[in-house]
Amino acid sequence: MVKRTDRLLDWLCARIPDLPRNPRGGRPRTDKHKALAGIFWLLEHGAKWKDLPRRFGSKSVVHQAFQRWVREGVFERLLQEAGQLVEERGEYRLYECFPDAAFCPARGGGDGIGRTKVGKGVKILIAVDARGLPIAVQSCSARPHESTLAQGLFDFMVAR
């Protein structure tokens, strides 16, 4: 029996571009399925890259794949394609949506980091429809109040 998560990973991997082969040979390509499963494992467990189990491959290879996919906008395209499928099936209820935000500490600093009473960090905002399906996501500086950030949340929507 094929697990639902395996079918989902197959669907996602089919939409992630392969790396071009080096004509001079070199290391084998990254196994997209294992790398993506490793990324989801990290997200699910809230773990650090150093804690990634060996069954997902080398930590550095999975991290490099993640960085490359972020740089190339792969995750945004995947979210938009998935959102389009859900929308075509009529499963979104966009007339009801609920935004929420969470503060994430970023002690090391970086672009888009804001200083608050609690420390430096970013805010991650998400809007879901009435069934809990995500329709928009945004990250921004933690400094402004969530109410001032709500409009910008809809700049990136997975549905039309």
**Domain total of the chain:** 2
**Interval 99-142: pLDDT, tens:** 777 777 766 655 556 666 556 677 788 888 777 777 777 777 77
Q: Domain of 128?
A: 93-153
pLDDT in tens, 3-44: 657 888 888 899 998 877 777 877 767 789 999 999 988 888
Q: What is the pLDDT of residues 35-52, one digit of tens each?
A: 999 998 888 888 888 999
- The answer to the question of residue 22 being in a domain is no
CA dist., res. 123 & res. 145, Å (int): 9
CA atoms within 13 A on the CB side of 101: 20
Q: Indicate whether 142 and 101 sit together in one domain.
A: yes
Q: Is there a single domain that holds both residue 125 and residue 66? A: no
Cite the DSSP H helix spans in 46-145. 59-71, 74-88
- Is the pTM for the entire model greater than 0.75? no
- Residue 159 belongs to a domain: no
pLDDT band at 93 (very low <50, low <70, confident <90, very high): low
Distance from C-alpha of 99 to C-alpha of 48, rounded to nearest angstrom: 27
Let me know whether 9 and 62 are in one domain: yes
10 and 67 part of one domain:
yes
Q: Which of 86, 78, 68 is nearest to 14 (CA)?
A: 78
